[in-house]
Every structure is written in C-alpha cells, then in structure tokens.
Structure 1
Amino acid sequence: MASNMPDDFDEQFLVCPVCMRHFRDPRVLPCLHTFCRECLQEWATKQQPLEPLSNNNSHCPTCRTQVSLPDQGVDGLRTNFYVSNLLDFAAAKKGAEPGVPCQVCKRSVEGSKSWCADCAVLMCESCTLLHRSFPCSKDHEVTTEETLKAEGGISTFHSKRHCDKHRNQELVFYCESCNALVCTACTVVDHRPGKDHNPVEITTVSQKKKETIQALLQDIDPRLKEMQTSIKEIDRKVSNLTPSKETATEQAKTYFRKLADLLQKREKEILSQIDEQCRADGKALQTKKEAIEFELVGLTSAQTFCQQAVQHGSDVHILEVGKQVQARVETLLAKQLDLESDWSDFQFVENTDVRDFEKEVQDLGGVKTKIDAPKCEVVLKPAVPGFECIAELATMNPEGRPCVTNSKAVTADMKDPSGTDVPTQLQMKGWGVWELSYVPKVTGSHRLEVKVNSQQVPGSPFEVEVKGNPVLTIGRKGSGVGELDLPVGVAVDKDGNIAVVERGNKRVQIFDKDTGQSLRSFPVDGEKPYDLDVDSNGMFVVTSWGEHFGLRRYTKEGKLLDTFKPDCMDDPHGLTVLKDGRMVVVNRPEQSSCLLLLQPDGSLLREIGKGQLQKPVFVSVDESRDTMFVTDKRAHKVFAFDLDGNPKFEFGKEGQNDGDFQNPKGITVDPAGNVIVGNGGDGRVQVFRANGAYIRTIGTVETERASGVTLTSDGYIAVACWNGHCIELYRYM
C-alpha cells in the first residue's frame, strides 16, 4: 500500500482505524475522528468488534469520547471532504505515472496527463484538449501533471463539491441562518435572501472561519507543549519507579528484619527465663522431697519395729522396749514437718494482647508518599439503613493537589451506635479520589475513623448520622442564600449538583448535592418561572408562564443567552432537553394542551398529544426507549408517547391506593427505564416500571405537595416541596 501513496503526507491519515484500508466515503464524528461509512454502519448493526452506535450515542472507538449521532444515524454524519480530496489526489498522482492508461480514451499514451476535478477523471493531452473545447466542460477545473507532481501540489488540488439537490450546481454559497452550504439555484428557491435566510459567498465565510481556526491553532500550540512537557515529566517519574521500589523494598526488609530479630531475642529471653524457673523450682522441690523421705524412713522403721513387737514379742520383751519405743514414736510424731510443696504451675503471661499488638503492627513502618494527611478531605453523603452508602476521600499532596497513594496507606473503621464494627470497603475511583462504601444496618449516629499514612484526616473520627428517608432537607422559606420560596422544577447540572427554580423568588438556585449548601443563584425573567433542565453544554433552560412567558437559555453563571417564543407556544410549563439539543415543552393553553417538540433554535417540529391531554404538567423523556412521559393532573394519569408523537399507552387513576395518583406532577426516568412520579395532592413519590406497572413508594413529602422530581447521579431522588419551601432528598438506589 505504501507504494501507492503520495510522498507529502502520512499514509495513516488515509487509513480507516476500523478496516485498516483506505477510507471509503469517510464520515467524521463530532470528536473529529474519521471512519468509513460502511464501517460505522457495520459497527452500529452488528455491534462487533466495537461498541454499537445505538440509541444515538456511544463512544468513539479511537478516543472513547461520548458522541451523539444525528437523527439520520451514520448517514447524518458529515463527510470528511478533506480526506476524500487527499484520496483523489493520491489516485490522480498514481494515475499520472508512465504506463497508466487515460481514463477517457483508455489508451496508454506517452506524455503528461491532467486531472479534471469536476469529472473526477484522469485524461491524456489529447483528451484534455478535447475536454476543454466542449462548452459544457470548458470551465471545469483541470489540474496538470506538473502541478500534481510539484512539491506542495496537494495544496492546490481540490475536488469540487456539488449540491445534493441540484447535481450540476457547485456549492458556492453558505446560508448563515441554516448553517448549510448551498448552490446558486438554492439561493433562488429554498434559501432566498430575506428574513429567514442569509446566503453569503463561501470565500467570505471561509476566510472568517479560517481566521477563527487559526486563532484556535495559536491556542493549541502552547497547550500541546504543556502536555508534551508533562508527558516527559511523567516518563521521568516512571523511570524512577523501579529504583524507588527497590530502595524502599530493601529499607522495609531491613526494618522488619530488625523487628524480627528483636522478637526472636525476646523469645530467647523468655524461653531462657522459663528454663531457669523450671530448674530452680525442680531443685527446691527435690530438696523438700529428700527431707520428707528421710523422715518417712524413720517413721516407717519405727512402725515396723512396733508391729513386730506387738505381734511376736513376749511380755518380758514388751516391758523391756516399750518405754523406748514409745519415746521414739512420740518424738517422730511430734516433729513438725512441712508437707506442703508451696508451688503452683508457672505459665507464660501475654503482657500485650495479640489483638492489640496486631493493631500496633499497623503502625510499624509505612510507605511515605507525598500525601499530606492534614490536607486530605472527606465528603460524607447521606446514609440510609440497608443501602450501600458512600463517603469520598480526596488524598492531597502538600500543595493541596490530588495525589495518588496505595490502598494500604488508607484505612477506614466504622462503628454503629452500639460499638459494633460496620464493614467498609475501599476503592480508588480516580486520581487521588477514594470511595469508602459501607452498608449500615441501624439508624443513629455512626463513628467513621479515616486515616492516611496512620494519621487521622481532618475531622476524623466523623459522626455519620444514619436515618431513614428523607435523608436530607435543603432550604427553608425565605429569600436569602440557601432559602427557598415556592420551589417548582428541579434538575441536576453538569457538576451533579441540584438546581431548583423558585416561583416566589424568581430565580434559579444551585445546591451542593452532598451537603445541601447553596453554591450560587441567578435571577430569571418571566412572571411565573416553572421548570428547568440542563442541555448537553451545561446551559440552563428555564420555562415561565403568565406575562412575558417563554423559554430562556442561561449560561452556568446565569447570563441570558436566548429567548424562545415560537408562535405555537403560549403557556409553557414542564420541560426536558434532549441530548441533541431538541426540547420537549408542556404547553397548556385552555382547550388545546399538548407537548411541543422544538428544534434547538426553538422552531416547532411537531405538536404531540393535542386532544388527549387535559392539564399536563411535567414531562420526561427516555430517549433509549423512544418514549416520553407526561403527567396530567386533571386526568390523574401519566401518558406515554413516542418521539414521532404517536400515543403508546397511559397508566394511573385517581385514588389513594398504591399506583393511584392525586394530581401527579414531577416525573423522571431512571437508567433502567423505571418511571418516578411525585403526587401534588398527597405528596407520595412512587416508582413504576416502563410499562406503567406499580413497583413501590419511595416516601411521602411531609407537606403533602410534591412538585418537580429529578434523579441524581449517585442514586438520590430530589423532590421540590411546594408548600414546604424546601427540597427533600430520598435514597433511591
């Protein structure tokens, strides 16, 4: 293959990373990596050997960046015309070699050849002259062989682009309103200059875009140098890993050998002491034994003499020795003897309990890293009995930056209110971030001790309050920082924190998902702000009804970017933003309530549910299952539609039993497709399967009026409590 390639650019640039052949109809993903169209199609359908491009989102097989496909799927991706042009250049350059026949007359003639960009054919000199003489092709762009072979010839070689609608027309204009390349005919028919279209010559727009890209290139170069420098520094540190390991290993072995020597020495001392004690006790006992035996012999001899005298002696004999025998025996019996041994078994005494010593051993040496325990941070998350609960530890270096350490350097010990151990598990989740997981069995105050390199981190031991749902209540009535007034819609921002729109204070306020602390807020326009969502770029989109109604997009900091008020909209309430930027809005005018599916620019795609919905409130979309769910508080139901607007099913009825509704409002969908609904009438938060079957009730809002609901990334349901002027967090999974 290498022999077929031109010399002035890299071969791999024209090779598809999937099939490892030259690109065929190259298509570029949003992350700017290019693949053959057929390879992407096969990837999407067969799901081998890479992950599928299904459900309009997946990961690029080269950089693993998550990408979203357009509605048309792979066919909606842009063609990489630059790569196509390079392929044409390579083919033209090879075709200009000696012996290659003309693609028009098919003869192998000597002489130079030329390439017609309009016809995409290679021609000999005769055919080139003839080609230029025809009126229909005299204006075609023809590149000579000299240009093809000249150094830098590729920069002057361009294949012309023609309009898909008008095949004989070249793309020479760019409609700024539609972000589309168009031909001259298009500017007369579909993109006529005026209010809705603004076609401009390509060269004008291209020059501005080149200047923008050039500015980006100037920003890229310093960043590349930083990254390259960082890689070199990492390589240097990697090269030091083995020497550091060997040194630390030898130091550790030496240290523990010394400890082992001390233990062995102490063992010998104790064993010697035992031997010495055994000898001393044995000698003392033997002496006592000999003394008793001596007395025993004397008494035994007297006993024998007495027995013989009594049994065999005559009266005369008895009278002769009786007095002597009596004196001897009485003397022996009267003698005070120490018959007690005064000795008990000696034993080894554990002055230090093995279990205590085991804990002490944990402090015998360690691996010293750049981790600075006083700078480490622990974030506690709400805990509920029976659920896996999490605490996050960030290990920091002395400069306060995240730093990696080994798992043995981190210890976590938790005890419940009775002092019983609660098993904990430790897992690294990222650069310098550790997840401490545990499953408490009881409610009450638990004690969590966290150490890094045998040092307590700041705040340790922590008091972890384990309680039932709700695990956290955020806010109270008021207009100050952290206070709420009539919260309605809730959403999770790009950082995982909880954003809420307040009707009373006419603002959006963002709270920390773990602590409930207010992070920031910004005012919003409109008389009655209602719901909000976050688009793929992290921007807030907010609805408001009443006077100055509309749909407004704000930056993360709260700067107003866009206001959408299409003619079809007059009473917007609930809102969901799709991954591709399209928006689904609940529109609730009298007698004609419906859902509006809008383009990212706010223009109408279609109306959904008109004539079926009575008083819709909130909407949530499960894009992976092509289903949108909308609550209807007048019908006391949830209606399901597909994204084309076709009704699928409905579930629920008015009542107080499991699965019944009382003015259903907030709604969201979990990753498994289950539907979570909050009741505005009785405050119950219920979970249903994707088909509407009731599963369980998560909890009941104390103020009996649940509004918007959303699911956080770490498994909690945030419920806006209209009457309670707060947000309640419920553990869900």
Structure 2
Amino acid sequence: MASKMASDDFDDQFLTCPVCMLHFRDPRILPCLHTFCKGCLEEWGTKQQPLECPTCRTQVSLPDQGVDGLRTNFYVNNLLDFSAAKKGAEPGVPCQVCEGNVEGSKSWCTDCAMLLCESCIATHRKIPAIRDHELVPEEVMKSKEGVDRFQRKRHCQKHKKYELEFYCESCKALVCTACTVIDHRPGKDHNPVEITTVAQKIKEKLQELLQGIDPRLKEIQASIKEVDSKLAKLVPSKEAASDQAKEYFRQLVDLLHKREQEILNQIDEQCRDDGKTLQTKKEVIEFELAGLTSAQTFCQQAVEHGSDVHILEVGNQVQTRVETLLRKQLDLESNWSEFQFVENTTIADYAEEVKDLGGTKTKVDVSKCKVVFKPAVHEFPCIAVLTTMNNEDRPCVTNSKAVTANMKDPSGTDLPTRVQMKSRCVWEISYVPKVTGSHRLEVKVDSQQVTGSPFDITVQRRDAPVLTIGRLGVGVGELNGPVGVAVDKDGNIAVAELGNRRIQVFDADKGNSLRSFPTDGEKPYGIGVDSKGTFLVSELGQNSGLKCYTEEGKRLDTFTLDCIKSPRGLAALKDGRIVVVDNKRKSCLLLQNDGSLVREIGKGQLQDPRFVTVDDSIDRIYVTDHKTHKVFVFDLEGKMHFSFGEHGNGEGQFHGPIGITLDESGNIIVVNWYGRRVQVFGSDGTFIRTVATVDDGHPHGITLTPEGYIAVACFIENCVKLYRYN
C-alpha cells in the first residue's frame, strides 16, 4: 500500500548525507533512526570501535552482517526518485536509457527508477518481464500531488521476479507469494499475513506513539525556552553579582586599610609616649649620676690632697653625703621593650576565614533539601550529609554561613558540631557523640529548618552492629546461608549465598539489594573481586572449582583443574593472579588468571585452612587455620614467615579463626567461629584490640568497606552485619 508523501515535507538538506554532504547513496538507518550512506557508514566504522552515530554519538551494535544488515531507508529512496523525476521533467534533460533524446515528454519508471523518453517507453512495454512496471507520466511528475506515486517496489531476494507482499509473523520476515508456498507455508511454524494488514497494525501503534510525542516535544521546547530565558539573564546576573562582590571586597579592603592605619597610629602614639617616658627616666638617672660623680670627686680630693685638719673639718660631711647617695634606692631599669606587632589572627587562620567571606547563592528551598545520616557510633567521628536544593529539586549553592547545625545529647546538653562544605551544594555535618542513646540534630539553612529537622539520631555502642542486611528467605534482599563477602569496585557488598546458590549485591549505606545472579555450582562459598571488577567465586560440591562472573552475572570462565579439591576462601592479586584456599589439600593454591597452577603454599603447615587475604604491597598472604587456632603468614614464593595466635577466648587468642581481611595500614582483622570476636592485630601479629563480638550467628567471611565498616557474614542468622571499624 502506497503511503502518502508530501513534497513540502522535505528539502535538499533532507536528502543529503550528513557525512559526505552529497545526496544519499544506498541510505541505511541506524538504531537511533539517523540515516547515512552505506559507504559512509562503512568508512566511519573503520575509524572507530565501537561504532558511534556521527550525528548523536549513540553507540551502535551492528548486526552480524555489519552495515549490510542495517535497514534501507526506502522513504528517502522514494524521495530521491521523486526529486530526480522532477528534474527529469525539466526541458533539455536526456533519456536515461538511450541517453540521447531530450525532446518530447518523458515518464518515470518507479520499478527501474529511471527516466524514459517516448521511444524507450514503447520498447519498455514490449518486454514481457517489465511490461507491468508502473510508469509515471511527465504531468504527474510536475505536480506536487504526484509524490505518492514514487514507491519503489520491493522484490524477494530469493524469487527476484516476485514482489514482497506478505509478512511471516513467526519469522518476522517479508516474503513473496512463492515463499508462502515453499519456505513459509502456513502452519504451526509459519504464519504469512498480507503486508497491508500487518502494516496497518504497526501504523496504529506508531500513531499512538505520535500522540505521546507532541506533549513531550512541547515540554522540551518549553524547557529550552526557559533555558534560553535564563541564558539571557546569565550575563547580566553575573555582572550584577560581580559588582556586588567587588563592592563587598572593596569594603573589606577599606576595612583592612583602616585597621592598618589604626595599628600604625597606635605604634606612632606609643613611640611618642615611650620616648617621653624614656627621656624623663634618662634625666632622673643623669641627675643622680651627676650628684654621685660630684661626691666621688670631692671625696677623692679630700682623701688624696686634704690635710688632716681639712679631713677632720669635712670628713663627717662627706661621709654622710656619700652614704646617703649610696643608700638611695634608684630605679635604673628602663622597663621598655622593642616594638612588636602581634597577630591576633594568624595569616593561616585568616586564610581559612577568608573562605567564608562572601559566596554565591541561589534560592534554597528548605523543603527540598536532603539529609543523609551515616550510622552513629559512640565516641567515633560521625557525619550527616546535607544537600542544598532549590525549588526545582536541583542541587544549588548557598553561602557558607547560611548552613547551621545544632545537636543535643539525651540529657539535652549541646554537642559540638562542625559544618563544612565538601563540594558544591554538599555539606558535611560532623560530631563525636560522648554517650549512647537518642540525639537530636537541628539543621537550618538561612535560619529555616530543613524538612524533617530536628532529626532523631540513635547513637549505638561501639560493639553493636550499625546495620544488619538480610533475613532468611529466597526473595530479593533475603539470604540463605551467607558465607563469603567482598566489596565490589563501586563499594557495594557482594555476598555468596550457599543456600540460595547465588551472588547478591547490596549497597553498603542502607543495605538495599541492588542485583543478584545464580551461580552454576552447587555451593558457592568464597568470593573475591579482581582489579577489573570481575567476581571470582569458589564452588563446593561434585563439580568444585572456581568461576568468574561479570558485574551483571554473566559467566566468563570456569576453572575445574584437577589440583582443586575443596576450594574455600579466595583473594585476587592486582596482577590478576588468584590465591584460593583448598581445605582438602590443606594448602593454598596460587593460580594464574587463566586458572593454571603456579605453586602450592602451606603444605605441611596448614591443617584446616578456611579464608585468605593478600597484601600486594609486600607480597604476603594471611591464612586462618580453624584447627590449629592460628593465622599463618606466607610470601608468594611459598615461604612461611610466621604464625600467631593460641587457643583460648582471651584477648589475642583464637577459638576457630575463620574470616580474615586487612585494613589500609596492614593491620590484620580476624573473626572467630566459636568466640565470635572480631579482633585486630598488627602486621607482626601483635594484638591491638577487639572491635566487636558478633551475636550468635556462626560468622564466616569478613571484609572492610571503603566507609570503614567491617561486614561479617553470619551463616546461622542468614544476614550480614556491619560494625564500625574506624
């Protein structure tokens, strides 16, 4: 059925390939609905992989046939035919068959897509194979209404002389009449239907979609109009804000200059006052000096030159005068020190305060602001994160002085808080709770309470879990026999469920299930993540081995080497190698990333190994031994460096050590199966502290999250518990 085409709906640009800027040659449609020449796409594909649409940059997955498999844009072909026919109807255009006749009227063959003169038309109609081709006369080519006549007929690739008139709904393929008899005979496997019927259904669906496009277009156009309006205001707004900022800082500079002059005047005034005081002091001292010098001279002359009579006459007087001068208490100290300027505020402190001098601000809607709380633990630094939002639900900036926070502990006593901008629109409110229990945090922006403020925050004990993920079940967010845990490249917690035979990934903030995928083996046990983000899973059971999965759960490789008997915990090195604990072999296996064995480690020393962790920086592996109640430390060459631990329930002792991991400082974190204590040891095995005691749940694997929480897989309680570590 011919579709209507309006000549006014296109122009020469519509028929031009955006790559070569020429009229389309064999136009092909990409999945994003942009059209290009087949040759241009083939050349474009040689320049980049994966292929991107030259117009919208959408990545394109080509069919197995490559560009040849892309759909032809027959609509554009028809318009090209119409354009060519219009030009052919002009005077002086030669026939495209005989290439010579330019006189007389001409017609366009829609099947051959060629312009024919009257002589060639007569010959064309005598040939049986093409006598039924549709010819469009010159008067129709010249009229705008004739465009709907230009529809190239589609012929079957297998039966060249037959048109495509049917659509096999089972095969989703266009077929001809011959195909419906041979390859697509109606029956249980094939259902050929006339194209008109199927096309009408599709048109109706497309029409429904079109009805939804107009409102969306209006919405987008309104948004563009709004953006244009804001763009028009952008520069004037910027200039006004700049002028305000310049005036603000000019006044600050004036204040600094004024303060500078005040300090200089104080120094000058102090100098004058000190000068007068020192001059008076000098005169007093000089007067005393003159009196003592005069007495000294008179006394010396009397002693050296006076007669006995003279001595007897003036001696008593001289003695009295000198003794009086010597007994006189004189203040000979000047009590003055050099001038020194005192920095009441240091340059460094002022530099910090300067950051708060002014800022940009948009209208903050306190009802839209968002506050996210991290778990609060007694005597640990805790934070709440505020995102300031505008009335359009978009993050926006505000002045640093506009955000305030006030916290009270259970007794109503104020708890110091600190508000600090971490990035644009994001503020961190930090505090250190001194007691456990319910605290209240009041958060304001521009002196207005944000929605939900004041917030109730429960501060937990240091050894209490801050978050418990999962419960018994097979549904989303539920767990059955969690054993191994690991952190993926995005900081989420991946759990190997032995009972549900799957891997489930949770976010570490709230414990929401993000995704899950089944494992192929009977009993997934250990889990690790390599540097590429690939999940490595050890499987127990009849087909024990290692399996690799993508983040989405697609299986990549399976290692079923004869050397692997009973794999348990595992760890990935940065270079791609893998260390896996083999409980039955009583050793650890160092494998290449293809699963080939490099060497066996710990044979003869380990008796019941369970989990392993690796420190790439020093090429060390740490293995828990459930039976000997120790942690063994080897290098990657297989040499044992030391072991630590002894049987018991005291500090630094083990009772069935099982899960193990490292922190950034190289400290070793171990959880006990029986004692259930999570303990921390130095890199040399020296006991440091006990983090927590896990509730009865038979802990297995543990891992440390980027946020500083220890995640413990609790097998019996069917959950993962998070404890604050740092």
Partners of 2:176 and 2:295 in 1: CA distance: 144
Per-residue CA distance 1:367-398 (angstroms, 9 max, x = gap)? 1212346743365899xxxxxxx99875421x
Among 243, 246, 251, which residue is 1:250 paired with?
A: 243
SS in structure 1 of the partner of residue 55 of structure 2: coil
Give the partner amino acid of 1:101: P
Contact 1:633 1:663 in 2 (8 A): no
Deviations 1:448-491 (A, max 9, x none): x99989999879999999x9xx998621325899543468999x
- 1:366 and 2:367 are equivalent in the alignment: no
Partner of 2:35: 34
Does structure 1 residue 104 correspond to structure 2 residue 12?
Answer: no
Out of 503, 506, 511, which is 1:516 matched to?
511
* Residue 114 (structure 1) aligned to one of 104, 107, 119: 107
The equivalences for 1:547-696 within 5 A come to 634-637=542-545, 651=559, 653=561, 660=564, 662=566, 691-692=594-595
| In structure 2, distance between residues paired with 1:688 and 1:35 | 49
- 2:637 aligns with none
Describe the SS at the equivalent of 2:60: strand
Q: Is the 8 A contact 1:488 1:502 kept in 2?
A: yes
The corresponding residue for 1:340 is 333
> Structure 1 residue 180 and structure 2 residue 173: aligned?
yes
Q: How many Å apart are 1:272 and its aligned residue?
A: 1.8
TM-score by length of 1: 0.63
1:705 Cα offset (Å): 11
Structure 1: 5+ residue stretches without partners: 1-5, 383-389, 413-423, 437-448, 520-530, 534-572, 575-585, 589-613, 619-623, 642-647
- The SS at the match of 1:114 is strand
1:477 is aligned to 472
Q: Identify the residue that residue 82 of structure 1 maps to in structure 2.
A: 75
* Residues 699 and 712, structure 2, Cα contact 8 Å, conserved in 1: no
In the alignment, the residues of structure 2 paired with residue 629 and residue 102 of structure 1 have an alpha-carbon distance, to the nearest angstrom, of 72
Corresponding residue SS for 1:66: coil
Kept in 2: contact 1:631–1:639 (CA 8 A): yes
- The CA deviation string for residues 654-689 of structure 1, in whole angstroms up to 9 with x for no partner, is 66xxxx57369999x99x99799999989x999987
1:125-144 matches, within 5 Å, as: 125-144=118-137
> How many residues are aligned here?
581
> What is the 5 A alignment of 1:247-326?
247-326=240-319
Change (3 A) 1:177 1:719: farther
Return 5+ residue gaps in structure 2 as ranges.
1-6, 376-382, 405-419, 429-441, 527-531, 550-555, 599-611, 615-658, 661-670, 674-696
User: Any residues of structure 2 matched to 1:488-503 within 5 Å, and which?
Assistant: none
- 1:10 matched to 2:3? The reply is no
Change (3 A) 1:649 1:260: closer
Which residue of 144, 153, 159 maps to 1:160?
Answer: 153
Query: Where does residue 224 of structure 2 map in the other structure?
Result: 231
The 1:395/1:167 distance shift into structure 2, 3 A limit, reads farther
The change in CA–CA distance for 1:677 and 1:407 in structure 2 (over 3 A counts) is: farther
* CA distances 1:679-718 after superposition (whole Å, capped 9, x unpaired): 9989x999987644689968879899999xxxx9x9x9x9
Q: What are the residue-to-residue correspondences of 1:65-76 with 2, within 5 Å? A: 65-76=58-69
State whether residues 681 and 704 of structure 1, in contact with CA within 8 Å, keep that contact through their aligned partners in structure 2. Answer: no
Change (3 A) 1:640 1:283: closer
Aligned position for 2:415: none
Structure 1 residue matching 2:64: 3-state secondary structure = coil
| Residues 276/228 of structure 1: CA separation in 2 closer, same or farther (3 Å cut) | same
Q: Distance in 2 between matches of 1:11 and 1:685?
A: 71
**CA–CA separation in structure 2 for the residues paired with 1:726 and 1:363:** 46
Following superposition, the deviation at residue 170 of structure 1 comes to: 1.0
Note closer, same or farther for the CA distance 1:236–1:267 as it changes in structure 2 (3 Å cut): same
Code of the aligned partner of 1:401? D
**Cα gap change, 1:284/1:638 in structure 2, threshold over 3 Å: closer, same or farther?**
closer
- Aligned residue number for residue 403 of structure 1: 395
Distance 2:155 2:575 in 1: 44
Q: Which amino acid aligns with 1:662?
A: S
Distance 1:173-1:729 versus aligned 2 partners, 3 A rule = farther
Q: Distance in 1 between matches of 2:510 and 2:161?
A: 64
Between the aligned partners of 2:280 and 2:569, the Cα distance in structure 1 is 98
SS at match of 2:297: helix
1:381–1:515: 8 Å Cα contact kept in structure 2? no
What are the Cα deviations for residues 404-455 of structure 1, in whole angstroms up to 9, with x where unaligned? 449999999xxxxxxxxxxx99677xxx8x799xxxxxxxxxxxx9998999
Asked whether the 8 Å contact 1:163–1:182 carries over to 2, the reply is yes
Aligned partner letter, 2:110: A
The TM-score, its normalising length taken from structure 2, stands at 0.63
The Cα shift of 1:63 comes to 1.5
Kept in 2, the 8 Å contact 1:380–1:464? The answer is no
Change over 3 Å in CA distance of 1:29–1:726 after alignment to 2: farther
Of residues 143, 149, 174, the one that matches 1:150 is 143
In structure 1, what is the Cα distance between the partners aligned to 2:330 and 2:172? 120
Per the alignment, in what secondary structure is the counterpart of residue 67 of structure 1?
A: coil
Deviation at 1:616, TM superposition (A): 12
Distance in 2, matches of 1:473 and 1:23, equals 62
Deviates most, 248-257 or 318-327: 318-327
Q: 1:241 deviation in Å?
A: 0.8
CA offset at residue 332 of structure 1?
A: 2.7
> Alpha-carbon deviation of 1:59?
3.5
> Aligned residue for 2:20?
19
Q: Distance between the aligned counterparts of 1:287 and 1:92, measured in 2?
A: 117
User: Taking structure 1 as reference, are residues 142 and 373 closer, same or farther at Cα in structure 2, changes over 3 Å only?
Assistant: same
Q: 1:213 to 1:508 in 2, by over 3 A?
A: farther
Identical amino acids, percent of aligned pairs? 61
**Matching residue's letter, 1:475:** G
User: Post-superposition shift, 1:171?
Assistant: 0.8
What SS does the corresponding residue of 1:68 show, helix, strand or coil?
coil
Q: Quick one: distance in 1 between partners of 2:590 and 2:445?
A: 41
Query: Kindly tell me: are residues 121 and 405 of structure 1, through their superposed partners in 2, closer, same or farther at Cα, counting changes over 3 Å?
Result: same
Q: Which moved more, 1:112-121 or 1:672-681?
A: 672-681
CA distance in 2: counterparts of 1:275 and 1:307, whole angstroms: 47
CA spacing shift, 1:249–1:706, aligned 2, 3 Å:
same
- For the 8 Å contact 1:96–1:145, the answer to whether it is kept is yes
Q: CA deviation at 1:228?
A: 0.9
TM-aligned CA distance change 1:138 to 1:379, over 3 Å: farther
Q: Which amino acid aligns with 1:403?
A: P
CA distance in 2, matches of 1:362, 1:230: 35
Partner letter of residue 247 of structure 1? A
Query: Is the partner of 1:371 in helix, strand or coil?
Result: coil
Structure 2 residue matching 1:370: 3-state secondary structure: coil
Name the SS for the 2:144 alignment partner.
Answer: coil
Look up the match of 1:61: 54
In structure 2, relative to structure 1, the CA distance for the partners of 1:356 and 1:35 (3 Å cut) is same
Q: State the match for 1:644 in structure 2.
A: none
Q: Shift in Å at residue 191 of structure 1? A: 1.4
Q: Are 2:213 and 1:220 equivalent residues in the alignment?
A: yes
Could you say what the CA RMSD is over the residues aligned between the two structures, in angstroms?
6.1
CA contact (8 A) 2:570 2:581 kept: yes
Q: Which amino acid aligns with 2:318?
A: V
User: Structure 1 CA distance, aligned partners of 2:594 and 2:505?
Assistant: 33
* Residue number in structure 2 paired with 1:195: 188
